[in-house]
Each structure stands twice: as structure tokens, then as C-alpha cells.
Amino acid sequence: MNPEKVRVRFAPSPTGPLHLGGVRTALYNYLFARKHGGDFILRIEDTDRQRFVNGAEQYIIESLNWCGIHFDEDVVKGGPYSPYRQSDRSSLYKHHIGLLLNSGHAYYAFDSAAELEEKRKQGHTSGMDQFQYNFKTRMLMKNSLSLPEQEVRNRIARGEAYVVRIRIPEEEVVVFNDIIRGEITVHTGTLDDKVLFKSDGLPTYHLANVVDDYLMKISHVIRGEEWLPSAPMHLLLYRFFGWEENMPKFAHLPLILKPEGNGKLSKRDGDRLGFPVFPLAWTDPVTGDISHGYREDGYLPEAFINILALLGWNPGTEKELFSMEELIQSFSIERVGKHGSKFDPEKAKWFNHQYLIHQPDNELLRIMKNYLTQRDISALDDYVLRVVHLTKERANLTGDLWSNSWFFFQAPLSFDEKAKNKIWQPTTGEIVREFATEIKLSVDFNKDVLHVIATNFTERKQIKLGQLLTPLRLLIVGSNQGPGIMDVAEILGKQEFLSRIETGLSKMGEC
């Protein structure tokens, strides 16, 4: 295998729906792989069975698929380093924890959860530093370093529950280079003896992650900043296994921040401010709670990806709209900033608007037909095309395509009260009726003809154009919103136009 070959991975834990920060991590890995002609791998890190959530793995795969982020090796299509789901690789981790135990870099620990909790409480009440299982405390605990060898053997033979912890050296300095953050120096004395292997016979994230990155020949680890504190321990593991030469390069991505900028963007922020933080809608399998998703809320995947790409990466130019191909060309990990980027929900809508208005009308037709089918409305393609062409400019979300144009497909059942009170005068009904009579007599029916007739009519009546058009709009559309009423009329056609006026007038009690 070519040691220079770029191989990156996205390694989610199926503990719930994928946060948009997770999608961004996957995206940056994907862009990096594609840019460098490398491989992109999906590895499911599901060894924490307590946090495992049913359906999360499928959700992650479907989300990335929707985003257009595709893998070269994954749990579905497999690959040269199969299996790609950690729960299917347990014998590998058992073997590797054995190596660390033999070399003295790891040890058995028998302390029960209750005993550890007690220690934590003691630390808390005595005002001492928070309890850490480390070089200072490990000899006071029940483990294979503090207990006689025979007792350790007996406990294991009796089937007593144990975990395996890493033995962090007391006084060493770990130095490594993070592509985004530069040189990072950590004294091992500040690290604790984390659990590598649990009593359920499965590894923790740390062991499985390092073993797999090595075995899968990962060249670069690009992941969220929350993993930065774990990196020094991971480096020690590479050293303990004797894999330092093949250690991947690290890049820890900055956080995506709340719109106000204070802290990490959370689902609560989305709920509070009315925007989704997940790519797809998600139904919690336990509580049944439904969370919004960008797809269902009417975002196009291209827009969603574009939004995420710019949350942390700076192209170095003013350009804001990037297709996936352009992102692949322009992306560089060196241009990812150290500092978090604020998520701006309004800007997200702006991106989607840009993508919507630049969609070919045929694509908008496809989207619009979904809304029509859901409502059992049938309409000719040509008609729908004219509607979307006229209304797309006002759409931010795909749902706006429908909400801005529903009146092309059904007559209003009622009229906006506020608008009606403002617009409707005692003479209005008569004005509209007379105008309708003139339209009836006209041979041609299009917006230009309508405009000429309306202008002549209002001049003759010595009223303002608005005194005719605003009430007309109310009758045709049901409110004083929407595109130019002459455009609406032209698409509706003469018959429907006149029939709405007639029905509208009778609803207004004007006949």
C-alpha cells in the first residue's frame, strides 16, 4: 500500500441523529479525500452499547446519502478492511488489549461503580481536586498494579467484573502537530488512566478508534474539537503499540456555535429559534419525539452542504456559492479556522433561496408536484411550470413554492379579514363588477391586455388603479399578498378569473 495515499474516515457513534456538526465533519473528510484522490471510509463506532440507539446507523447513512456524501468503503458495500462496524470487530480489540496488558501499558481494575462514585464524592466534599484515576491514585485502588498477583488471578478466574485501564506515564511530554491548531504539548501527568476495555468485553472508543485507524491505514484523522483532549492519549497508544511511524496526521475542527456565538450549537438552540440542527427529521425511538430536519423543512441538499462548508472553512475569496465539485477543487484543510463559527439561520435560508431560484424549472416542477400529489391536486405540467416560474423568486424553502402559489390550484375559501376591512369600500363591489363585464367582452386575455383595460377603466372612473387591483387581488387570491395580479390572472385564464370574481363578490355579500 502506498504510504502517501490519503485515507480518511468518518466514524460516528450511533447514539442518536447526526448533528449538523457531524455532517460537516463528514463533508470535510469527503472533500479532503476527493481533492487528494484518496479513499473515504465510513466506520460505525458502536461499542458503547449503553448509548446505542436503534435506527441511528440507518439515519446516519441516509443523511449522508441525501447530502451527496458518498463512501468508498462502508458497512453496506464493505471493502478491503471489512468489517466496518466495530461491534463486528470485537476479537481484534481483545487481541490488542492483550498486547497492552502484556507490555505493561495497561492493567486490570476491579473497582466497582459504587466505589468509584464514593471516591468522586469524597473528592467533592473534602474540597480536593476532582478525583482522577491516575498515577497519583492508582495504587490506592483495586487493580492489578496494587493487588498481589495471585489475587488478581483469582479474581479473574472467579469471573469478577473488571475493566482494563491505560497506564499513563507519570512524567512525559507528548508533543504533536495539529494541522489546524499547530503544535500541541501536553504533560502526561494531567491525563488520567482511561478505561480502554469494559466489563462487557467490548473496547471503549479510545482503544477501538486507534486500533481501527491503524488497521484501516488511515492517513488523516479529521474530527471535531471535542476529541482534542483525547488526542494525547491516542498518541500514547500509537507509541505503546509501536505504531508511531504509521500514525495519522490530526486535524481538530472548530465548533459550530450558537447564533449568538456563546457556546456550541445545540438542539435546544434550534428549538428555541425555530431551525433544525439535524439533516433529516428524526423520531426518537423511545419517547416518540420528532425533531425537525433540513430535508423535511424544505432545504435542498446542495444548499445545506454549501452552508456547512462555509462554517469553519474560508475559501479566501468573496465567493459564497459552491457546488460539490467546486468545493472539492477549492477545499483545503489549512484554510479551516481555529475558532468556532456562528450558525446564522437567516443566512442558511438565503443559501437555500439562491439554490432554489437557480434550479431548472423542471426540477421545481418535480418538487411542486409532490406538494400537489400530497393534496390530491392534479394539474397539467405546463400550467405548474408557469406557476413555479412566476413564484420561485419569493421562495426560501421548498414549502414556500406551495404556500406562495396555492391559489393557482384552488380558489380561496375565505378572505383575509384585516385586508378586507382595509380594502373594501361601499363602492368596491360595483367597481369590480363593471370591470369584470368589460373583461368578459374582451377577446384577448393576457396581462398586457388586462393592464390596458384596467388603466382605461380606472381613468374613466377617475379612481386610482389600486382601488381596482387591490380588491381584485383579494377576490382572486384571498389576501393582499402574492405576485402581480395581472400575472396571476393570465395564468389562471379568463374563465377562472371571472368565476372567482363572481364567487368572491357573492361571498362578500355583493350581489
- Report if residue 227 touches ligand GLU, rule: CB under 6 A: yes
Nearest approach, Cβ of residue 12 and ligand GLU (Å): 5
- Report if residue 371 touches ligand GLU, rule: CB under 6 A: no
Nearest approach, Cβ of residue 247 and ligand GLU (Å): 13
- Report if residue 254 touches ligand GLU, rule: CB under 6 A: no
Closer residue to ligand GLU, CB minimum distance, 56 or 387 = 56
Nearest approach, Cβ of residue 262 and ligand GLU (Å): 23
Nearest approach, Cβ of residue 167 and ligand GLU (Å): 22
Angle between helices 301-309 and 20-35 (to 10 degrees): 80
Q: Which stretch binds ligand GLU (CB under 6 A): 221-229, 338-346, 365-373, 430-438?
A: 221-229
Residues 35, 249, 264, 267: which is the catalytic one? 267
Nearest approach, Cβ of residue 163 and ligand GLU (Å): 19
Closer residue to ligand GLU, CB minimum distance, 105 or 252 = 252
Gyration radius (Cα) of the chain, Å: 32
Q: Which stretch binds ligand GLU (CB under 6 A): 8-16, 303-311, 406-414, 416-424?
A: 8-16
Q: Which of 238, 320, 308, 421 is nearest to 23 (CA)?
A: 308
Closer residue to ligand GLU, CB minimum distance, 197 or 205 = 205
Q: Cell digits for 74?
A: 462502508
- Report if residue 28 touches ligand GLU, rule: CB under 6 A: no
Q: Cβ neighbours of residue 267 under 8 Å, at least 6 residues apart?
A: 19, 277, 278, 291
- Report if residue 220 touches ligand GLU, rule: CB under 6 A: no
Closer residue to ligand GLU, CB minimum distance, 13 or 458 = 13
Could you give the count of Cα atoms lying within 13 Å of 124 in the half-sphere of its Cβ? Answer: 6
Closer residue to ligand GLU, CB minimum distance, 221 or 469 = 221
Cα 433 from Cα 444, distance rounded (Å): 19
Q: Which of 301, 307, 294, 293 is nearest to 351 (CA)?
A: 307
Cα 155 from Cα 498, distance rounded (Å): 91
Q: Is the peptide bond before 83 cis (omega within 30 degrees of 0)?
A: yes
Residues between 173 and 212 with contacts to ligand GLU, criterion CB under 6 A:
205, 209
Site string for ligand GLU, 41-70 (x = CB under 6 A): ----x-------------------------
Q: Which of 217, 211, 204 is nearest to 9 (CA)?
A: 217
494 is catalytic: no
- Report if residue 144 touches ligand GLU, rule: CB under 6 A: no
Cα 182 from Cα 199, distance rounded (Å): 37
Longest dimension (CA), the chain: 111
Closer residue to ligand GLU, CB minimum distance, 63 or 209 = 209
Q: Cβ neighbours of residue 403 under 8 Å, at least 6 residues apart?
A: none
DSSP string, 128-170: PSPP--STTTGGGSSBTTTS-HHHHHHHHHTT---EEEE---S
Q: Which stretch binds ligand GLU (CB under 6 A): 61-69, 169-177, 194-202, 219-227?
A: 219-227
Cα 283 from Cα 304, distance rounded (Å): 21
Number of chain residues interacting with ligand GLU (CB under 6 A): 9
Closer residue to ligand GLU, CB minimum distance, 16 or 483 = 16
Nearest approach, Cβ of residue 250 and ligand GLU (Å): 9
Q: Which stretch binds ligand GLU (CB under 6 A): 10-18, 60-68, 181-189, 447-455?
A: 10-18
Question: Which one of 7, 24, 223, 473 is in contact with ligand GLU (CB under 6 A)?
Answer: 223
Question: Which one of 8, 12, 74, 371 is in contact with ligand GLU (CB under 6 A)?
Answer: 12
DSSP string, 324-375: HHHHHHH--GGGB-SS-EE--HHHHHHHHHHHHHTS-HHHHHHHHHHHHHHT
- Report if residue 294 touches ligand GLU, rule: CB under 6 A: no
- Report if residue 11 touches ligand GLU, rule: CB under 6 A: yes
Cα 436 from Cα 367, distance rounded (Å): 35
- Report if residue 13 touches ligand GLU, rule: CB under 6 A: yes
Nearest approach, Cβ of residue 473 and ligand GLU (Å): 53
Q: Cell digits for 53?
A: 440507539
Angle at Cα 498 formed by Cα 495 and Cα 504, nearest 5°?
A: 135
Q: Cβ neighbours of residue 254 under 8 Å, at least 6 residues apart?
A: 180, 225, 312, 336, 337, 338, 339, 340, 341
Nearest approach, Cβ of residue 212 and ligand GLU (Å): 9
The residues assigned a catalytic role are 267
Footprint on this chain of ligand GLU (rule: CB under 6 A): 11-13, 45, 205, 209, 221, 223, 227
